[in-house]
Amino acid sequence: MTDTALLRRPDFRLFAGAQLLGSTGVWMLRMAMDWLVLELTDSPAAVGVLVALQFLPMLVVGPLAGVLVDRHDRRRLVLAAQAASVLIAVVLAALTLGDVVLLWHVYALATVLGVVGAIDTPGRQVLVNEVVGDGRLRSAISLTNAISQGGGLVGPAVAGFVIAEVGEGWSFGLNAVVGLCVVALLLAIRPHRLHVVPRLPRGPGQVREGFRYVAARSHLLAVVGLAGLMGAFGLNGPVVWTAFADGVWATGAWGFGLYNSVAAVGAVAGALLASRARSLRVRGVVLAAALFGVAETVVAVMPTHATFLVAVAAVGVTTLLFLSSAITWVQLTADAHVRGRVLAIYSPVLLGGHALGGLVQGALVEHLGVRGGLVATGGLALVSTGTVAAFLRRELRRRPAVPPSTPLASTAHPAPSDLVPTPAHRPDSTARQPDSTTGGTP
């Protein structure tokens, strides 16, 4: 099914609209929080702490969130997470507009936002499977990635304008309104039209089972590990762009919004480029990570504002080329019965690395300067990519991707190979029918 055909499906249009507005709101919320912390402290390292607090909770609650996603109604979980995000935005708006906001307020709410995101992220990733079915999953993932990046284009631009004109408080308030619109769109999705994705019955050891599943598959383990390394040594735009806007080009909040928007334009191109691939191999994911490391190093040394903007767009392209390829490969490789737990391992590793990277990037920027700090992390990203590539080469020579003795072999599908088939080779799910026990609720 083509992207155009997907958009003709009413439930997918609702989901895509929720993704667009949700992404716009997330970018607005995070950008306003980043800029507020910079104004309160005048310290890029403090912004790095904020980034860490947003994503470190993923490491603690992420695997448990995966069990929740595999066990429960994903649509309701996503709705609850979105409602919590609206509440966070309302509290931030009240504190900021009341001129009583303190640094610890922002840090505490960022931590709560991280817990909410730990549930929301795998929930949305599995919910798209319920909306379109397995046979159309790859196209749907690529399209929703591009749509989300459209929100990444709109959100920073809107937030930068609102912050520059009326301040962070009104940006938080507008974000709350956007969040309520997302809730309305998700409520409009009819549960009885969703596709069947198996739910996990209660049982012991289910978190451990998710970890065993990943650990037993060397290719899957490598992609998850690479995502964490890229998060730690590269995906730290909030720290980098605030530092460039404040300390290099002196463009302020307007420039911060511009750099995020330019990166988002490139990200849309990267997501669309990833969606055009007929097949997806692990080597393609590793290559995308290497290209990202190169782009990150290049953007650090651009001598003029114009060439800097071009390089920022290249960072956006390679960022989403890697992220879209990695998440698509992981999601299509993981069996349906364990998909929520696998995604709840992948996302915390990626975002936990991102949280650690926020601290690393902030410290490097303060000690080496903006350009020196970015060159250092770009180099570390390239070293990490080379390390993962060497691990994959060694594992390919040593043993198959899934050892025959894995405890899950009796219940899992055949072992994932380096190549992920196109949707045409995967069976589609069947539409969920209402029954007496669920009343049509998935």
Residue boundaries of the structural domains of the chain: 10-195+206-401
Calculate mean pLDDT across residues 347-366: 77
Calculate mean pLDDT across residues 280-296: 90
Q: In the prediction, which pLDDT does 403 show?
A: 42
Q: In the chain, what is the greatest distance between 2 CA atoms, to the nearest angstrom?
A: 67
pLDDT band at 238 (very low <50, low <70, confident <90, very high): low
Q: Comparing 40-44, 62-66, 177-181, which segment has the lowest mean pLDDT? A: 62-66
Q: In the prediction, which pLDDT does 129 show?
A: 80
pLDDT band at 261 (very low <50, low <70, confident <90, very high): confident
Q: In the prediction, which pLDDT does 92 show?
A: 95
Rg (CA), the chain: 21
- Provide the residue count of the chain: 442
Cβ–Cβ under 8 Å, residues 124 and 148: no
Fold observed for domain 10-195+206-401:
Growth Hormone; Chain: A; (1.20.1250)
Cβ–Cβ under 8 Å, residues 142 and 324: yes
Q: In the prediction, which pLDDT does 4 show?
A: 62
Q: Comparing 41-45, 152-156, 304-308, which segment has the lowest mean pLDDT? A: 152-156
Calculate mean pLDDT across residues 365-382: 88
Q: Between 180 and 1, whose confidence is greater?
A: 180
Q: Comparing 181-195, 336-350, 423-437, which segment has the lowest mean pLDDT? A: 423-437
Task: Identify which of 254, 239, 274, 19 has the alpha carbon closest to the alpha carbon of residue 151.
Answer: 19
pLDDT band at 184 (very low <50, low <70, confident <90, very high): very high
pLDDT band at 152 (very low <50, low <70, confident <90, very high): low
- Is pLDDT above 90 for 108? yes
